[in-house]
Structure 1
Amino acid sequence: MTSVSSSILTALGAGSGIDTASLVSSLVSATRDPRQQVITSRQSLNSARISAIGSASSSLDTFADALNSLLSGTGYSGTPASNDPSIVNVSALPGGVPSGLPAQIEVKNLAAGRTLVSSVNTRSDKASGAAATVGTGTLSLKVGSGAAVPITITSANNSYTGLAAAINNAGVGVTASVITDSQGTRLMLKGPSGAANDISLTVSSSTPDANTGADLAQFAWSSGAPAGSTVTSASTPADATILLDGVEQKYATNTIDTAIANLRIDLNKAAPGTSVTLATTEPTTSMRDLMVEFVNAYNTLMKALNTATATGTDSSNAGVLNGESAIRDMKRQLSQMTSTALAVSGTFTTLSDLGVSTNRDGTLSLDTKVLDKAIAADPKAITQLLNPAVKSATNPGLAGLMDSVRDKIQQKDGPLASAQSKYESLAKDLTKQLEKLDTQMTNYQEQLTKVYSAMETRLSAFKATQSYLQQQVALWTKSDN
Structure 2
Amino acid sequence: MGGNATVAVEATTNRPSSASIVQTLGGGSGIDTSALVQSLVDAQFESRNAALAKREETLTAQISAAATHKSNITGFSTALSTLSRSGNLATQPTSSNSGIVNVTRLSGAVLTDVNARVEVRQLAAAQTASTAPVTDKAAPVGQGTLTLTFGTASVADGAMSAFMPGAGASVDIIIDASNSSLQGIAAAINARNAGVTASILTDSAGSRLVIKGGSGEARAFTLEATETPGEEGLSALNIGIGASGTTIGSAAADAIVAIDGVAIKRDSNTIADLVPGVKLDLVSAQIGVPVNIGKTLPTNALLQAVSDFVDTYNEVFAALNKDLDPVTGSLKQDIAAKALKRQLQQLTLAPLASGAGGAPTTLSQIGVRTNRDGSITLDSTALSRALVNSPDAVEKMFAAPSGAATTGNGLAAALGAIAAEAANTTRGLGASEISYTKAKSDIATDKTDALAKADALRTRMTRQFASMDAKVAAYKSTQTFIENQVKAWNSQD
TM-score normalized with structure 2 length: 0.67
Shift of 1:29: 3.2
The answer (yes or no) to whether the contact 1:111–1:254 under 8 Å persists in 2 is yes
Which of 186, 189, 208 is matched with 1:187 structurally?
208
Say which SS state the counterpart of residue 54 (structure 2) adopts. helix
Which of 324, 344, 351 is matched with 2:363 structurally?
351
- Code of the residue aligned with 2:140 in structure 1: it is G
Counting only pairs closer than 5 Å after superposition, residues 37-436 of structure 1 correspond to structure 2 as: 37-82=50-95, 85-86=98-99, 88-91=101-104, 96-98=107-109, 102=114, 112-119=125-132, 132=135, 136-137=139-140, 173-178=197-202, 187=208, 189-193=210-214, 217=234, 219-221=236-238, 229-235=244-250, 254-255=269-270, 265-268=280-283, 280-283=295-298, 285-311=300-326, 318-342=328-352, 343-345=354-356, 346-376=358-388, 378=389, 380-388=391-399, 395-407=408-420, 409=422, 414=427, 416=429, 419-420=432-433, 422-436=435-449
The answer (yes or no) to whether the contact 1:143–1:197 under 8 Å persists in 2 is no
Say which SS state the counterpart of residue 51 (structure 1) adopts. helix
The answer (yes or no) to whether the contact 1:136–1:216 under 8 Å persists in 2 is no
- Code of the residue aligned with 1:366 in structure 2: it is L
Question: 1:68 & 1:325 partners in 2: Cα distance?
Answer: 27
Say which SS state the counterpart of residue 77 (structure 1) adopts. coil
Which of 460, 473, 485 is matched with 1:475 structurally?
485
Shift of 1:289: 2.0
In structure 2, relative to structure 1, the CA distance for the partners of 1:109 and 1:143 (3 Å cut) is farther
Shift of 1:35: 0.9
The answer (yes or no) to whether the contact 1:138–1:205 under 8 Å persists in 2 is no
- Code of the residue aligned with 1:41 in structure 2: it is K
In structure 2, relative to structure 1, the CA distance for the partners of 1:19 and 1:152 (3 Å cut) is farther
Shift of 1:60: 0.9
Question: 1:89 & 1:71 partners in 2: Cα distance?
Answer: 23
Question: 1:100 & 1:151 partners in 2: Cα distance?
Answer: 53
Deviations 1:27-68 (A, max 9, x none): 333333331221121111112112211211211111111112
- Provide the residue aligned with 2:22 in structure 1: none
Larger mean CA deviation between 199-208 and 408-417 belongs to 199-208
In structure 2, relative to structure 1, the CA distance for the partners of 1:79 and 1:179 (3 Å cut) is farther
Shift of 1:199: 8.1
The answer (yes or no) to whether the contact 2:137–2:183 under 8 Å persists in 1 is no
Question: 2:277 & 2:384 partners in 1: Cα distance?
Answer: 31
Shift of 1:204: 9.3
In structure 2, relative to structure 1, the CA distance for the partners of 1:262 and 1:192 (3 Å cut) is farther
Say which SS state the counterpart of residue 193 (structure 1) adopts. strand
Question: 1:258 & 1:449 partners in 2: Cα distance?
Answer: 92
Ranges in structure 1 where 5+ consecutive residues have no aligned partner: 1-8, 122-129, 154-162, 209-214, 313-317
Say which SS state the counterpart of residue 115 (structure 1) adopts. strand
Shift of 1:108: 9.1
Say which SS state the counterpart of residue 306 (structure 1) adopts. helix
* Same amino acid, percent of matched pairs: 24
Question: 1:350 & 1:462 partners in 2: Cα distance?
Answer: 88
Say which SS state the counterpart of residue 88 (structure 2) adopts. helix
Question: 2:148 & 2:322 partners in 1: Cα distance?
Answer: 67
Shift of 1:364: 0.8
Report the RMSD for the aligned CA atoms in angstroms: 5.0
Deviations 1:151-180 (A, max 9, x none): 675xxxxxxxxx689959997643333467
Deviations 1:399-435 (A, max 9, x none): 2332344445555654645544543453344334334
- Provide the residue aligned with 2:165 in structure 1: none
The answer (yes or no) to whether the contact 2:26–2:33 under 8 Å persists in 1 is no
The answer (yes or no) to whether the contact 1:90–1:265 under 8 Å persists in 2 is yes
Say which SS state the counterpart of residue 191 (structure 1) adopts. strand
Question: 2:67 & 2:250 partners in 1: Cα distance?
Answer: 64
Shift of 1:280: 4.2
Say which SS state the counterpart of residue 334 (structure 1) adopts. helix
Question: 1:303 & 1:108 partners in 2: Cα distance?
Answer: 60
Say which SS state the counterpart of residue 349 (structure 1) adopts. coil
Shift of 1:138: 5.8
In structure 2, relative to structure 1, the CA distance for the partners of 1:31 and 1:50 (3 Å cut) is same
The answer (yes or no) to whether the contact 2:101–2:291 under 8 Å persists in 1 is yes
The answer (yes or no) to whether the contact 1:137–1:207 under 8 Å persists in 2 is no
Shift of 1:465: 5.5
Larger mean CA deviation between 20-29 and 99-108 belongs to 99-108
Question: 1:399 & 1:349 partners in 2: Cα distance?
Answer: 14
Shift of 1:362: 0.8
Question: 1:310 & 1:371 partners in 2: Cα distance?
Answer: 33
Ranges in structure 2 where 5+ consecutive residues have no aligned partner: 1-11, 13-24, 150-170, 192-196
Question: 1:20 & 1:146 partners in 2: Cα distance?
Answer: 103
Question: 2:36 & 2:463 partners in 1: Cα distance?
Answer: 13
Question: 1:384 & 1:18 partners in 2: Cα distance?
Answer: 85
Deviations 1:296-331 (A, max 9, x none): 11111111112212345xxxxx22223434333322
Shift of 1:462: 5.1
Question: 2:454 & 2:276 partners in 1: Cα distance?
Answer: 69
Shift of 1:363: 0.6
The answer (yes or no) to whether the contact 2:148–2:223 under 8 Å persists in 1 is yes
Number of matched pairs = 429
Larger mean CA deviation between 412-421 and 281-290 belongs to 412-421
Question: 1:449 & 1:164 partners in 2: Cα distance?
Answer: 94
Question: 1:171 & 1:19 partners in 2: Cα distance?
Answer: 96
In structure 2, relative to structure 1, the CA distance for the partners of 1:257 and 1:28 (3 Å cut) is farther
- Provide the residue aligned with 1:6 in structure 2: none
1:35 aligns with 2:48: yes
Shift of 1:229: 4.9
Shift of 1:139: 6.6
Larger mean CA deviation between 366-375 and 40-49 belongs to 366-375
